Amino acid sequence: CVALDVQAACRDTAVTQELLKEGFHRDLLVKVELGEDAGGCAVAARTRLPPGIYVDPYELATLQQHNLTKAVLSPDVIDLEAPEYLARDVLLLLFLEPDPRCSRCFRAAVPVHARYHRPAEGTEEAVVVLESPEVLLCCCHGRLSAECWEPAEVDTPCSSDSTGSCQWHSTKHSPACEESMLRVPVGLREHSSLVCALTLLTTGLCSGLILAAACKYGHF
């Protein structure tokens, strides 16, 4: 009976995650509807970005300077030029803003970028899957129901512009209806010989033209 009462009191938090735009450069939009009122609390979504997708820390710093988004990356040093097979996961903590149209709704977006993948056989695209994020609350001046929320291991302040430690809490939530998938164009392995031959031919032709121009117009 008590278990049923607790379960009824803890309404699920719903999460929606979308990848906006097209191509290699997209926007990751996260929307959260809390199961209970969280007035005065900071709300964040923590998600693990697989190696095929990343957030540019320099772009993020610029956006945060203009107060367009707030997020924390771990690790904060990212190799922007690495291909997917040489990259590693990145942990993104995205701070959400209240949605004026809904008292329990929060949302935020951050630019994400796809990495180059290895050539594949029989397919012209690779699929990068984003799992549903974890919803976190940090209530410095409020109290959360112990039955619905539990302490989470997050070594991050309550906001992206503060340095003090904060106790975050997590709750069970209804994941996004479908996992977000980013489809990245890749080369075909069966074309590798043709691509190498054309690249070598083009390089030799361009080098010859540069050498001829240097011999004709250069002063030695």
Same domain for 100 and 37, yes or no, is: yes
Same domain for 192 and 108, yes or no, is: no
pLDDT of 93 strictly over 60: yes
Q: How far apart are CA 35 and CA 166, in angstroms?
A: 22
Residue 106 tokens read as: 């929060």
pLDDT of 72 strictly over 50: yes
Beta strands in the chain (DSSP E): 13-20, 25-33, 42-49, 53-54, 71-74, 90-98, 105-114, 125-130, 134-138, 150-151, 169-170, 173-174, 180-185
Same domain for 49 and 66, yes or no, is: yes
Same domain for 19 and 41, yes or no, is: yes
Note down the domain range covering 200. Answer: 188-219
Same domain for 158 and 204, yes or no, is: no
pLDDT at residue number 138: 83
Mark residue 178 as left, alpha or beta (left: phi above 0; alpha: psi -120 to 50; beta: remaining).
beta
Q: Is the pTM of this model over 0.85?
A: no
Same domain for 163 and 206, yes or no, is: no
pLDDT at residue number 127: 84
Same domain for 103 and 166, yes or no, is: yes
Same domain for 68 and 160, yes or no, is: yes
pLDDT of 170 strictly over 70: yes
Give the mean model confidence (pLDDT) for residues 50-54.
Answer: 93
Q: How far apart are CA 52 and CA 176, in angstroms?
A: 20
Paired sense of beta strands 105-114 and 53-54, if any: antiparallel
Q: How far apart are CA 112 and CA 97, in angstroms?
A: 19
Number of domains in the chain: 2
pLDDT band at 42 (very low <50, low <70, confident <90, very high): confident
Q: How far apart are CA 207 and CA 203, in angstroms?
A: 6
HSE of 18 in the Cβ direction (CA atoms, 13 Å)? 10
Same domain for 167 and 118, yes or no, is: yes
pLDDT of 124 strictly over 90: no
pLDDT at residue number 161: 57
- Locate tokens 């240097």: which residue? 214
pLDDT of 165 strictly over 70: no
pLDDT band at 176 (very low <50, low <70, confident <90, very high): low
pLDDT at residue number 156: 74
